[in-house]
Amino acid sequence: MVPDINTVTATLLDAGFTSDEILTVIRADGAHSEWFWKREYDDGFLWLFEDVVPLTVSATTNTLQYLYNMQNQIIYLQNIINAEYQITDLQGNGFGG
């Protein structure tokens, strides 16, 4: 399985990805198995979406609409009259509100 991982890494680099955009992790007990994927999922998910800012909304009278422009790192909010909001990263660290 390690040769396949190395081949994928090389293919991504050849396609123009930088080493900063690729994370290759090889575990001694790695296996093509659900128990292994389950164990590794959280770390992989957090790495993959480290630049994404999820939005949790709580409003009683209005429906909050939002759009996140990842390229410009801008969040557009609509219908926030009398609404409270908090923006956090995946670890729950707040950005304001």
Which segments of the chain are extended strands (E)? 55-58, 65-69, 74-78, 84-87
Residue 11 confidence (pLDDT): 95
Does this model's pTM top 0.85?
A: no
* One-letter identity of residue 27: R
pLDDT of 97 > 50? The answer is no
Characterize 3-35 residue by residue with b for buried, 16 or more Cβ atoms within 10 angstroms of its Cβ, and e for exposed.
Answer: eeeeeeeeeeeeeeeeeeeeeeeeeeeeeeeee
Query: What are the domain boundaries of the chain?
Result: 2-48, 55-87
Residue 82 confidence (pLDDT): 67
SS (H, E, C) 17-40: CCHHHCCCCCCCCCCCCHHHHHHH
Residues 37-89 pLDDT 10s: 899 998 888 788 777 655 555 545 456 666 766 666 677 777 666 666 666 76
More confident position, 46 or 28: 28
pLDDT of 96 > 60? The answer is no
